[in-house]
Structure 1
Amino acid sequence: MTTLDAQLAAAAGRRWWNRWTVVLAVALLLVGGFATGIEVQKAYGEQPTGGGGFRGQGGFTPPTAFPGGGAARGGTGNSGSGSGETTTGTVKLVDGTTVYVETAAGEVVTVRTDGATTVAIPGKLKDLKAGDKVSVQGGADGSTAATSVTRSK
């Protein structure tokens, strides 16, 4: 072996990383990802809403009205009034002939029914349960009766 080969072999040295370097790098990435996730959740996560809704462990408080005097209403259907409006959402409570439906936007809509309301579900209106998906035609303002209530799949 020549002196040049010996000098090159000595200068090459050892690897700059070992098993502990890899373990520490992975741990640093995990902690950094967790901290970043916390900050993203704070900035873009679900924001608490005020108003009616669940209180405690399942005690449902139906909404009465929103500030400004408007009744609880909303939905993802046609934006009209009277019997032309369609509201879709999840049943929160069935109280006699009144159904409380939570829309995709998180609003709770009060839907009144009467003898003229068409109920397109197996059984009767009282057979609706909390969590059922429904589509309601008209009556989402709570002042008039809905024309139809249909259970969705």
Structure 2
Amino acid sequence: MNITELISPQRVVARLGTTSKKRALEQLAELLAGHAPSLTPEEIFDSLIGRERLGSTGLGQGVALPHGRLAGLTEPLGAFASLDPAIDFDAIDHQPVDLMFALLVPAESTDEHLQILADLARRFSDKGFTEDLRHAATGEELYQRFLTQDARQRESA
């Protein structure tokens, strides 16, 4: 799977200024809703926050992968934001989060959902990759780093 199959340059934001987990999820929901006309930002936010209530999706090392499944969605959809400043996300290592990748999948896509999450978690555990993301100043720079990461994945496969 290529990360760039899930995101687009319009759904990648650098240095998003937000002060809380809730507000960060709202902003990611707005980004996602702009590219999923059948869904509202409120529906997306409800899905993301509902999952967070089951347990934090903060993986540690400053990374969070909020995610949810929604009826009415026909294919997986993602959005990414680097945050400045980092926020408390109840992460497993109790460290603040500054990299967030939000993922939505169709309600019936349980296996695909888990496969995508596993791939994203593996990629975001690469310290070199996350440091590259942290040094990007614009959404376009972030998106280019995802393109580069996808190319590396294809070469190593």
Q: Tell me which interval the TM-score lies in, with the shorter structure as reference length.
A: under 0.3
Structure having the higher helix fraction is 2
State the TM-score, normalizing by the size of structure 1: 0.23
Which is greater in Rg? Answer: 1
Higher relative contact order (CA 8 A, sep 6+): 2
State the TM-score, normalizing by the size of structure 2: 0.23
